[in-house]
Amino acid sequence: MAGETRFRPHDVMRMVQRDQRARLLADDSIWLCLTCETCTARCPNGLDPARVVDALRELSMTEAPGRIPKAIAAFHRSFLEEVKRTGRMGEFGLVLRYKLRTGQFMKDVGAVPSMVRRGKLKPLAPSIKGVKGVRRIFEKCAEARRANGQEEVRP
């Protein structure tokens, strides 16, 4: 994805060293990283840029939430919401939530019949038995974020 970003991993690392936080968080480069881990695997200085990008994304959620690309934010929220509801990621529920958030109702609709024919589309999934344990994890992590003065992840 580096080809589609303004700041590449080495730029990000240098900007972090120079404390150019505002400039980094004002750009969507960190949200376009797919965590392919290539930079981390190959860093000649043994650094871990992929983890740094994850940390920057967490900062960005508190400090520059408006800068997160809308489709990507909608995907993450829809994904975590579905996991919190059922304990698992039901693809149908994820896509439905994503469409409601983005208004992209027609996206991939043409593929629905072929998905059904292949047995790949399942209706809304029931919750797992231990869904309360999964919700507990979400709640405890939200508490920890509030204690740190961070915006909580609100699925």
Partner 1 sequence: MKIGYYPGCSLHGTARELDESLRAVSAALGVHLQEVEDWSCCGATSGHATDHLLSVALAARNLALAEAQGMDQVLAPCAACFSRLASARHEARNDAEIREKLPELLGLPFTNTVAVRNLVDLLRGLAPEIKAKATKPLQGMKVACYYGCLLVRPPEVADFDDPEQPTSMEEVVKAAGGTPVTWNHRMDCCGGAFSLSRTGSVIRLGRAILDDARTAGADAIAVACPMCHSNLDFRQSAMALRGEAPMPIFFLTELVGLALGLEPKALGIRRHFVSAAPLLERQCAAGKGVS
Q: Where are the alpha helices (DSSP H) in 1-130?
A: 9-17, 21-25, 29-32, 38-42, 49-63, 70-86, 91-102, 112-117
The residue length of the chain stands at 155
Give me 80's structure tokens: 């975590």
Cβ-based nearer residue to partner 1, 15 or 93:
93
Q: Taking CB under 8 A as the rule, does residue 34 contact partner 1?
A: yes
- From 8-16, 19-27, 65-73, give the range in contact with partner 1 by CB under 8 A: 65-73
* Helical packing angle, 91-102 and 70-86, nearest 10°: 140
CA distance 66 to 93: 25
For residue 105, the minimal CB distance to partner 1 (Å) is 13
Site for partner 1 in 114-133 (CB under 8 A): 114-115, 118-122, 125, 128-131, 133
Instruction: Give 62's contacts (C-beta < 8 A, 6+ positions apart).
Output: 149, 150, 151
Site residues for partner 1 per CB under 8 A: 1, 4, 31-32, 34-38, 40-41, 48, 50, 54-55, 57-58, 61, 69, 71-72, 74-76, 79-80, 83, 87-92, 94-95, 98, 107-108, 111, 114-115, 118-122, 125, 128-131, 133-134, 136-138, 140-141, 144-145, 153
